[in-house]
Structure 1
């Protein structure tokens, strides 16, 4: 593993005008072209979007490089490092999907099961017409992006919810949808979701520094996020938060996760099946194919197509869904990606298994998704050249 720390000037001022390189080399510096591409793509984002800190990791044919900019907390000026913990936001959904696929590999659930099999209170409710697959792919029939106000608790919400589409007809990106999928997965495995993730899924994936609840011993490395007013903030959990947006991790651990997805044959057989299960495409929606957690595009992919597939229209509005029959992994090279945000953090992960390249970007501000994707796309193009 090649580790390069690039630490930007402290944000005592409102913005960073120059990214200073303070490099601690453990093995070898990254290739100059890759370092230049990462610096050019991500370095300016701190000033342009008022981001206190960004951690970037790239993987090229099994070699990993880490680039760190800015600070993890503005009050202390503590620099971002590859071990700084960030909130992943909706990138967490890829872990929820992997746990669900793992439960499937264990024969503890099936994706064509319905919610009431694991939560009998939902028998006869509109949500029970959807399958677990519909919940995991946001095609259950119109569940909203966030939980709407309601009394009586989470189960009551789903009992009272009414559909506005037949399951499978539309993709409507939704925290309640995949959140319920994660909750039902935990019920199928007879355990608490957070406990399963921290004691079963993370270790099986080789992750050593990822959490639902950050332990006290790691709190000093937990970055502060900053909201649109520049105030420090951290995630405020709500219903099914752990399942939908609750993971905190570092670029070191997230690169381990990317490497597990690039080469799942390095994992234990059941975990390999689980990871490979998240690479199967189930529905086409607009410019992308929706799998379990990950969203897919043929590679190479244009920036315009990647932006369209991650647009606000895709996140905020219902989109027609076309079922892939049969569901299948991509026939050729494919890019898998997922964005994530909380009030104070922004994340983006993208990788191409066939080319053995990947990028992780974690930031302690929720800055615009198009800027994250544009920067990552530029770096991926350079990585693809490096492996040609």
Structure 2
């Protein structure tokens, strides 16, 4: 099963500086390479039907560069611009977490506080064998709380083109305090602080708690601590509806815009690339203590995977720190990443939901390699893998590290690489990478699940069954493994 981002914040005390688009077109310059790369990759993205419209903002060394592709409305020639507004989905969570960081810096709240201290009523269920859900757990994805509460999404078989409209109508019917009533019966899925899992409810509760702490609505807090300091336009309400793109699902069906407050704090903000470039610039500068706090890891290990306050952190294949997050709504997708050591960040916004956020991540990765070149450690590793036909990857990695000690391989990086090979119809090569993951991370259910998929692709039924069983031993809740195992045993 392909690992995805946990669909995974800044502030100046004064007005953020303006970012002017670069204008250098001299052959051979970094700017020229950047322009050529994004123009080619962006146009290809549209031509392959991955989205109808897409806007990209790149910030490098304090300057912003903008690229726009496709159309904001199907069937019309309406190219997006850096002023076009998109729903940013779960990237909203890092905005909420930035307000939290300010509250911590101001002494209004503590990251280790039991969340029940700020909730109305009694919630003995919000603890796991004496371990309570803490404020930090709401912001680092380890709360153990359900994903959505109340849950607006229809159950059972429903036309996928109609499901978003049904969910939206359900949201409109939610009472303001309905979440608290349903929260009393909610069950934690894991011990708080131990297992990352997506939860819109966690972000919603965090926003509600911040409203209580400050005695002000969420919209006012976002304006005070994010939008006004950075010079961003408002990301709430309908004031910029005329600039909003129209969103479509993968079957090109028009999707509804998401204005309901029930989803606002978890994924309801909307911005243009002009806004997001200012946000990225402030994040990279990190001149405010609240920004720095929001970027510090509070769960996990950055050598493999970690989480700060709703940023996902890890290291690149050559050991550089990367912060990233993605999001999706009914009709839009977003992806953001930054590399503090390089002074570089990028945000991509599209009017297509779901898998598009992962595809934009791949575009960002390809752009990095084309603009600044493939890291020597990765080039050496790829050459050695090809020479050895992807066999005995553990030995190959050890040998490459003798010349390139900076080579940094994570489970997720290898996992995504393996799935790219599967899509390219190279299952034997993918198998070698998945074997490496199972050897290096023997307690990872996902490593064995992916290994089983490769064996299944190759027609090796006994090995596929054995590895799906191993994956389910490590995580009995692995639905993908259970489904494939049942299918294989029935043959």
Equivalence for 1:96: 96
SS of the residue aligned with 1:124?
A: coil
TM-score normalized by the length of structure 1: 0.77
- What is the distance in 1 between the residues matched to 2:189 and 2:57? 41
- What is the distance in 1 between the residues matched to 2:371 and 2:214? 39
Q: Deviations over 1:184-226 (max 9, x none)?
A: 112111111122213443212x1322412131xx222111111
Equivalence for 2:312: 295
Q: 1:137 aligns with which of 140, 145, 148?
A: 140
> Which is worse superposed, 98-107 or 278-287?
278-287
Matches within 5 A, 1:45-194: 45-74=45-74, 76-126=76-126, 129-141=132-144, 143-147=145-149, 149=151, 153-194=178-219
Q: Deviations over 1:205-251 (max 9, x none)?
A: x1322412131xx2221111112332222333556411100110011
Aligned residues: 325
Deviation (angstroms), 1:149: 4.0
TM-score normalized by the length of structure 2: 0.61
Deviation (angstroms), 1:340: 0.7
- What is the distance in 2 between the residues matched to 1:367 and 1:82? 22
SS of the residue aligned with 2:95?
A: helix
CA contact (8 A) 2:232 2:278 kept: no
Which protein is richer in strand relative to its size?
1
Which consecutive residues of structure 2, in runs of 5 or more, have no partner in the other structure? Answer: 1-18, 153-173, 375-491
Q: 2:364 aligns with which of 376, 380, 385?
A: 376
SS of the residue aligned with 1:120?
A: coil
Distance 1:239 1:125, change over 3 A: farther
Which protein is richer in helix relative to its size?
2
- What is the distance in 1 between the residues matched to 2:266 and 2:119? 18
SS of the residue aligned with 2:56?
A: strand
SS of the residue aligned with 1:214?
A: coil
CA contact (8 A) 1:132 1:181 kept: yes
Does residue 207 of structure 1 match 2:210? no
Deviation (angstroms), 1:362: 0.5
CA contact (8 A) 1:198 1:212 kept: no
- What is the distance in 1 between the residues matched to 2:322 and 2:349? 19
Which consecutive residues of structure 1, in runs of 5 or more, have no partner in the other structure? Answer: 5-26, 266-271, 302-331
Q: 1:258 aligns with which of 280, 290, 299?
A: 280
CA contact (8 A) 1:210 1:253 kept: no
Q: 2:293 aligns with which of 277, 285, 308?
A: 277
Which structure is larger by alpha-carbon Rg, 1 or 2? Answer: 2
Please report the RMSD computed on the Cα atoms of aligned residues, expressed in angstroms: 2.6
CA contact (8 A) 1:41 1:376 kept: no
CA contact (8 A) 2:116 2:122 kept: yes
- What is the distance in 2 between the residues matched to 1:242 and 1:65? 28
Equivalence for 2:433: none
